[in-house]
Structure 1
């Protein structure tokens, strides 16, 4: 929803003008609003003082902040429920859990790491060791030939 171009004080001032005896159409014309907007303001701010309007706005902002925190906490709980059946002992298991949380829940890597309690450096780590698959095969062959060596 678009923010109003009028402050609470101005809106309450318009309502007070109309309550003082001015016609609704004249008040709307003077301030450049439609009668529907005026009646919407009256439904929301009717019978309020400026301090009440400020209190209402602060209450709405706090409510929005709390709703956001609750939604984030519910998402964290869903991720933990989703991943809790798996053991995350090895760094590879942690990487897979973070990747699954990112893919399944559409969240950022940073947020998934925070929810799962995983360090981001372990998720971003890429090994620089050379691939020694051929050497391992030779060692397995020697260990198979000579049991004492293996």
Structure 2
């Protein structure tokens, strides 16, 4: 199978289509083949995005991006505090 990246909207759409096919009695093997993904990808997507709508996924990605930015700010502040403590001790 050729490797490709899927957008979150495509993943949600494929999960919905896959659930529909599963409801019709097809096996996970057949569903994965129809969606042109591996079974492990199906399970990973289902665990990560199962039950979400496209808007929920967009919001999740935004929150993860903001969380990363805030963690970087906290790390920078911790370095500044350590530096100031070192300067205050006179060990410069």
Structures share fold, TM-score greater than 0.5: yes
Q: Structure 1 unaligned runs (5+)?
A: 88-96, 98-150
Alignment partner, residue 13 of structure 1:
13
Structure 1 or 2: more helix by fraction: 2
What is the CA RMSD across the aligned residues, in angstroms? 1.9
**Is the counterpart of residue 32 in structure 1 residue 36 in structure 2?**
yes
Alignment partner, residue 61 of structure 2:
57
Work out whether residues 32 and 38 of structure 2, in 8 Å CA contact, stay in contact via their aligned partners in 1: yes
* Counterparts of 1:34 and 1:53, CA distance in 2: 21
Give the structure with higher Rg (CA). Answer: 1
* Counterparts of 2:31 and 2:83, CA distance in 1: 54
Q: Paired residues, what number?
A: 85
* Counterparts of 2:81 and 2:39, CA distance in 1: 47
Q: CA deviation at 1:28?
A: 2.1
Q: Structure 2 unaligned runs (5+)?
A: none
Between 1 and 2, higher relative CO (CA 8 Å, sep ≥ 6) is seen in: 2
